[in-house]
Amino acid sequence: MSKKTVTDDISAEVRLELYRTQVRLREAEQRAFDLFLQNLVKGTSHLSLGQEAIAAGFAVAMQKGDLSFCTYRGHAHTLARGVPVEKVLGELMSRDNGLMRGKGGSMHLTSVEHGVMGSYAIIGAHLPIACGAAWRAQYRGDSDVSVCFFGDGTTNIGAFHEALNFAAIWKLPVVFVCENNLYMEYTPIADVTAVEHPAADRAAAYGLERIIIDGNDADEVLRTARKAYERARRGDGPSLIEAMTYRHSGHSRADPAKYRPEGELESWKKRDPIKMYRARLLKLGVSEAVLNTIDQEIKDEVEAATVACKAAPAPSADIIFTDVYADGGWAWRN
Amino acid sequence: MAELTYRDAVARGIAQEMARDPDVVLIGEDIAKAGGVFKATVGLYEQFGPRRVRDTPISEQAILGAAMGAAMTGLKPIAEIMFADFAAVCWDYFANEFPKSRYMTNGQVKTPLVVRLGNGGGARFGAQHSQSVENWCMMIPGLKVVVPSSPIDVVGLMAAAVRDPDPVIFLEHKSLYATKGEVPDGEIVDTLGTAKILRPGKDATILALSLMVPRALEAADRLQAEHGIDCEVIDVRSLVPLDTQTILASVARTHRVFTVEENPRLCGWGAELMSIIADEAFYELDGPLVRITTPHIPLPAADVLEDLVIPNAARIVETVLRTLSN
Ligand SMILES: Cc1ncc(C[n+]2csc(CCOP(=O)(O)OP(=O)(O)O)c2C)c(N)n1
Ligand SMILES: [Mg+2]
């Protein structure tokens, strides 16, 4: 290959979008953590600090109309589809300006208008649901792809295996993305799994290719996503992708992550996806000023969102009884 | 007008809706080419083809998850869970997924789907293939729960369930599949949340569901013929939404009330109904609220044993007599 330029199979524009998205996720998640320390984020929250390249790469490769299915660790995937930071932080802060006005909370971020079809807090539940959305696309001849994100720990629950077989036999346009961050909650995935690569080493059982990628390299993620989406749109069926990564924070906000061996976090921080991506862009000739401008714009965006959320009222009590049923209410009797 | 079995009524109701709406699709284990293990979907595969009537692997979570994902994005799936007992292996979808997504997302996500299950005892299948699980379903906010007892109700309530924008749990009784009833020709669409007074009476109200309905009717006939006691029999039909007005009005006329429930005793649907009656019609009552249920045990398989525990007409007659004579 000749001298690298900022545009190859990935355009300069897309590369800057990958950078911007990763920085947005990083800043928003860091802010969520800070707000938690100030007791302004209630309930639990599961951050994707360190895993931003996966959310960014898969989302940037999507087309409008493609659908994301996320877990409780879903802030990043939700933001990556273009949901405003204010809507996400508002939900985390139990404010009326939140994505679901506080009715769902951190673990259930959903924005149908952005293609974010839900964040699911029961391990494995959304893999079959993503199959169903993909089945609808196949049934109607729609061209959208359903993309389902989950963790390494999820590969040991039955729904994972049911969904993979189901998607494979029906050749559904669904892409399963395992973010292998080496841990379930507190237990290393290697301690509880029969194979080394919890997702990829199971792919053969469903007639699928064994795909393992560097989940901290946004370009590699984007390329893998594009291939899988094309395959799905061609009607060639599902893909299962295992993206290796690491979470910089604990499992949830309550977790100081004392179970990690010494030096593990530090070594992964050297492979921080955003640091690496910034360095790559600079090497490819993007000017520092351009990147600094993006950094500043995102900082301003997150700051403005925080200010708006702090000023937003709490949700009003009347929404307690709305939307249990399709008539908008909760009546179960006459 | 034709005489149909309850089993054929299931297929007829589904066919009526599939012919009307191309978004209605049917999935489940052995439901397509084989016509269902209870033969309740015979002919649908031939009529609507493999795209709309699809066999699945033995993957109850995948079946219900797929139904939900399809429903969220525009289809109107009907999913079969062969034996209602198997709801336990995919309970997450009943308890956490279908009923909560609309609420949690502040109305963004809709799950218009129907889950059909082969419910109930009487087939000597033992404790894991005979349960009546309507009370499991009834306790979850966000679900609707329909339990038809006759062929005509199967057709009309199936249509109502498919057209309903909420997730509907549709419990078919395995021991009713072979029973017959008159069903008019043409489209039939019933209304969820409506109980039916099947036999008017003035001395006592008997509330029944599913297989317990014919037994309650038989008991009422015997109570009338042999003891001159005139019972009103109400088929509750729909647990959620619940037609409390029909029930409360009946209690206000008869002043006595019994439930006949196939489920094990604790937390059966009758307990909820009785609590409503106690709250709202207490001063109408001339006697205790009496629940006739299966005892709080797993169901035994042997015919003689199963017949001893599931309520039957004799037990209903005896209980009503004993209660009214006190
Ligand atoms: C069915 C179920 N079992 C257990 C849990 C509790 N739980 C929440 S997150 C989690 C770990 C999941 O690990 P992984 O799939 O690797 O995802 P990660 O949190 O690392 O992103 C567990 C066990 C749950 N939510 N659902
Ligand atoms: Mg993990």
A32-63 pLDDT per residue, tens: 999 999 999 988 899 999 999 999 999 999 99
Q: Is residue B191 part of a domain?
A: no
- pTM for the complete prediction? 0.98
Residue B189 in any domain: the answer is no
On whether both B147 and B272 belong to a single domain, the answer is no
Helices (H) and strands (E) in chain A, counts: 11, 6
Please state, in angstroms and rounded to a whole number, the distance separating the CA atoms of residues B312 and A174.
50
- CATH number of the domain that residue B207 is part of: 3.40.50.920
Q: Which two tokens stand for residue A119?
A: 């964040």
Q: What is the pLDDT of residue A1?
A: 40
Q: Does the residue B300 lie in any domain?
A: yes
Ligand 2 center from residue A183 Cα (angstroms): 4
Residue A179's SS3 state is strand
Dist CA A89 CA A119 (whole Å)? 15
Cβ(A277)–Cβ(A22) below 8 Å: yes
On whether both B264 and B146 belong to a single domain, the answer is: no
Encode pLDDT of A281-301 as tens digits.
999 999 999 999 999 999 999
pLDDT value of position B326: 81
The Cα–Cα gap between B248 and B284 comes to 9
Instruction: List the catalytic residue out of B17, B29, B97, B129.
Output: B129
User: Based on the domain organization, do B175 and B56 belong to the same domain?
Assistant: yes
Transcribe A239-266 into DSSP letters: EEEEEE---SS-SSTT---TTSPTTHHH
**Domain count within chain B:** 2
- The atom number, within ligand 1, closest to the CA of A152 reads 16
Q: Compute the mean pLDDT over every residue in chain B, rounded to the nearest whole number.
A: 98
> Are A166 and B59 in contact (CB < 8 Å)?
yes
- Which residues, including other chains, have CB under 8 Å from residue A39's CB and lie 6 or more apart? none
Question: Does one domain contain both B246 and B128?
Answer: no
Q: Are residues B131 and B51 in the same domain?
A: yes
Local structure of residue A176 (DSSP, 8 states): E
Task: Decide if B316 touches A, using CB distance below 8 A.
Answer: no
As for ligand 1, residues whose beta carbon falls within 6 Å of it are: A 73, 121-123, 150-154, 181, 183-185, 251
**pLDDT per position as a tens digit, A55-96:** 999 999 999 999 999 999 999 999 999 999 999 999 999 999
Of ligand 1's listed atoms, the one at least distance from the Cα of A179 is 21
Please state the atom number of ligand 1 nearest to the C-alpha of residue A247: 20
Give me the sign of the Cα torsion angle A153, A159, A162, A165: negative
Cβ of A132 under 8 Å from any chain B Cβ?
yes
**Given B183, B211, B236, which residue is the final one in a domain?**
B183
Closest CA to A105 of A119, A115, A116: A119
Q: How far is B74 from A129, CA to CA, in rounded Å?
A: 13
- Ligand approaching nearest to the C-alpha of A45: 1
Residue B173 β-bridge partners: B119
B151 closest CA partner among B249, B45, B16, B31:
B16
Q: Which ligand is nearest to the CA of A183?
A: 2
ipTM: 0.97
Length of chain A: 334
- Closest Cβ–Cβ partner in A103, A112, A146 for B103: A103
Q: Which two tokens stand for residue B187?
A: 């489209």
- Pick the closest to residue B125 from B310, B314, B267, B315 (CA basis): B310
Place of tokens 């009103």: B232
User: CATH code at B149?
Assistant: 3.40.50.970
Question: Which tens digit of pLDDT belongs to each residue from B114-125?
Answer: 999 999 999 999
Q: Where are chain A's structural domains? A: 15-321
B280 is catalytic: no
Instruction: Indicate the SS3 state at residue A150.
Output: strand
Question: What is the least distance, in Å, from the CA of B232 to any CA of chain A?
Answer: 20
Does one domain contain both B288 and B140?
no
CB atoms near residue A308 (< 10 Å)? 17
> Does the structure show a pLDDT above 90 at A279?
yes
| Residue with CA at minimum distance from ligand 1 atom 6 | A123
Residue A73 alpha carbon, nearest atom of ligand 1: 21
Shared domain for B29 and B169, answered yes or no, is yes
pLDDT at A272: 98
Give yes or no: residues B38 and B116 share one domain.
yes
pLDDT tens for B252-281 read: 999 999 999 999 999 999 999 999 999 999
Which pLDDT belongs to residue A2? 46
Name the B residues in 152-191 with CB < 8 Å from any A CB: 164-166
Homologous superfamily (CATH) for A15-321: Thiamin diphosphate (ThDP)-binding fold, Pyr/PP domains (3.40.50.970)
From the list B60, B67, B166, the residue facing A325 with the nearest CB is B166
Give how far A110 is from chain B: nearest CA, Å: 6
Ligand nearest to the CA of A157: 1
Q: What is the pLDDT of residues B156-204, one digit of tens each?
A: 999 999 999 999 999 999 999 999 999 999 999 999 999 999 999 999 9
Which residues of A fall within a CB distance of 8 Å from B276? 333
The whole-number average pLDDT for the span A209-231 is 98
Domain hosting B165: range is 2-183
Predicted confidence at residue A3, as pLDDT, reads 58
Q: What is the mean pLDDT of residues A252-257?
A: 88
A315 contact residues in B (CB cutoff 8 A)? none
**Shared-domain flag, residues B15 and B149:** yes
Structure tokens at A178: 């395992």
Told to judge if B129 belongs to the known catalytic residues of this protein, a careful annotator would answer yes
Which tokens is B183 given?
Answer: 């069903």
The minimal CB distance from B75 to the residues A131, A139, A330 is found for A139
CA pair distance B168, A105, nearest whole angstrom: 26
Share above pLDDT 70 across residues of chain A, in percent, rounded to a whole number: 99
Distance separating the N- and C-terminal Cα atoms of chain A: 73
